[in-house]
C-alpha cells in the first residue's frame, strides 16, 4: 500500500480558494485510474495542541504501490489539476508519501 497525503495552504486573498481546490480535486483527481481510496476536505479544527491547523485543505489518496502512484503523477488529469487549479489558488503545499 502507498499513501499520498497532500497538505495545501490556499491563497488568503482568494476567499473561495479552498472550495475551488476541493471541487477541482473531485473533478480532476478522483477518477484517475489506480486510486484505491480518495478523500479531500477542509482542515478539521481541534483543541489538541499537536494538531496542525495552519492549512486549509488536505488530500489523501491510497494506491496499491509506488508504481501506481508514479503513473498517477504524470496522468493528464493530474497535470491539468496542477496547472489549472493548484497553481492558481495555492501558496504552499507539503506532501507526505509513505508505504507499508
User: Which class is 2-45+54-99 in CATH?
Assistant: alpha beta
The three cell numbers of residue 8 are 495545501
Give the residue extent of every domain in the chain.
2-45+54-99
Residue % of the chain over a pLDDT of 70 = 100
Instruction: Kindly report the backbone phi and psi dihedral angles of residue 66, in degrees, each rounded to the nearest multiple of 5, phi listed first.
Output: -65, -40
For the purposes of burial, counting CB atoms within 10 Å of the CB of 33, is it exposed (0-12), middle (13-18) or buried (19 or more)? exposed
Dump pLDDT digits (tens) for 38-60: 999 999 999 999 999 999 999 99
Instruction: Tell me what the pLDDT averaged over the chain comes to.
Output: 97
Give the pTM. Answer: 0.94
Q: What is the pLDDT of residue 12?
A: 95
Amino acid at each position: 500500500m502507498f499513501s499520498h497525503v497532500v497538505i495545501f495552504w490556499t491563497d488568503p486573498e482568494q476567499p473561495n480558494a479552498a472550495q475551488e481546490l476541493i471541487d477541482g480535486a473531485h473533478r480532476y483527481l478522483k477518477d484517475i485510474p489506480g486510486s484505491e481510496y480518495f478523500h479531500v476536505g477542509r482542515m478539521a479544527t481541534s483543541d489538541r495542541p499537536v494538531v496542525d491547523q495552519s492549512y486549509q485543505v488536505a488530500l489523501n489518496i491510497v494506491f496499491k504501490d509506488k508504481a501506481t502512484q508514479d503513473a498517477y503523477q504524470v496522468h493528464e488529469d493530474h497535470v491539468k489539476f496542477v496547472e489549472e487549479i493548484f497553481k492558481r489558488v495555492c501558496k504552499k503545499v507539503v506532501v507526505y508519501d509513505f508505504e507499508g
